[in-house]
Amino acid sequence: MIWPIDVVIYVFFAFLVPVGMVNWDMFVYMIFSAFPLGFIVLGEAIALLSGNFDLSLGQVAGFAGMLGALIAVQHVLPGPVTIFVPIIAGLACGLMNAFLVTKMGLNPFLATLGTSFALGGAKLLVYPVSIFSGFPDIYLNIGGDYLYSFPIFLASLGLLFLVLNKTRFGSALYATGSDAVASEMVGVPTKRVTFWAFVIAGTLAGCAGLFYAGYMKSISPLTGDDAIFPAFAAAVLGGISLKGGRGNLLNVLGGILCLSYIDYGLTMLAISPYIRRVLYGVLVVAAVLIDNVRGRIRERYMRTLRA
């Protein structure tokens, strides 16, 4: 469903603002600008496929980005090494969420809501103001240079797709998300799978923090604050079921592009930020409604097959 929707949305905005939309350079830029949020969307998609929610990924990206930027501008590590700092920070946050959910037995929705608030505060403790200068060139090039960002994002997407579709872990992840109890009964280590799903999601959010710094050429304490619900919308619009266990990561790319087209189109139309927040809320609700309709169609189809 998402690819025809992408075409319709793009044509709609191209009709309204042809100067800004019908332009190859701007089309490439729209894709490029989607990568920072795109990593958060991929992380949320992994969490949803496992049958869980992760509300902390936006704040994980902001915290990891701020921590990595602070270390980068202080030059305490060689430039090429600094690019791994936000990724490792995201991985550590993923480990924390994984521990709370799988080892402590906490509800994933509430646990990640708590860590989201905690990381939002930790982000301000790391550095309470924006960082604009002093970055090593390599640190900003990863998310700010087309020659780096396009191959890295597409390679990450391709690797995740292969893992989910060609490995035992991928099969176990889909099985766990579809029915954790039944999967446990047939020998799938559902807790271990869920643990690693949260770790992968956190690591991808750490990548988002690195890409945000490169894309904006700076990092702000507000980075990632409003990212999580658009990420939910993009993942669900891309076909990831809120009930878990169903979806294709390649279609998630369509959901990422859908959000990028909408954001850029609204910007070109000079729509008020307040109205845009309302529209994004409507988009999240629409994504949930689409998921419900899709689920009903699937259930009806399965009943027809059984009959």
Query: Nearest Cα to 220, choosing from 139, 131, 144, 135?
Result: 131
In this predicted structure, the answer to whether residue 291 has a pLDDT above a threshold of 80 is: no
**Range of weakest confidence among 167-171, 214-218, 269-273, 290-294:** 290-294
Q: What are phi and psi of 131, to 5 degrees?
A: -115, 120
The overall average pLDDT reported for the chain is 90
pLDDT at 109: 92
% of the chain residues with pLDDT over 70 = 99
126-168 pLDDT, tens digit per residue, is: 998 999 988 999 999 999 999 999 999 999 999 999 999 999 9
206-240 pLDDT, tens digit per residue, is: 999 999 999 999 999 999 888 998 898 899 888 89
C-alpha span between 239 and 248 (Å, rounded): 7
Query: Going from the N-terminus, what domains does the chain have, and what CATH number goes with each?
Result: 2-306 (1.10.3470)
Q: One-letter amino acid identity for 252?
A: V
Residues composing the chain: 307
pLDDT at 155: 96
pTM value surpassing 0.85: yes
pLDDT at 277: 81
% of the chain residues with pLDDT over 90 = 58
- The token pair at 154 is 């597409």
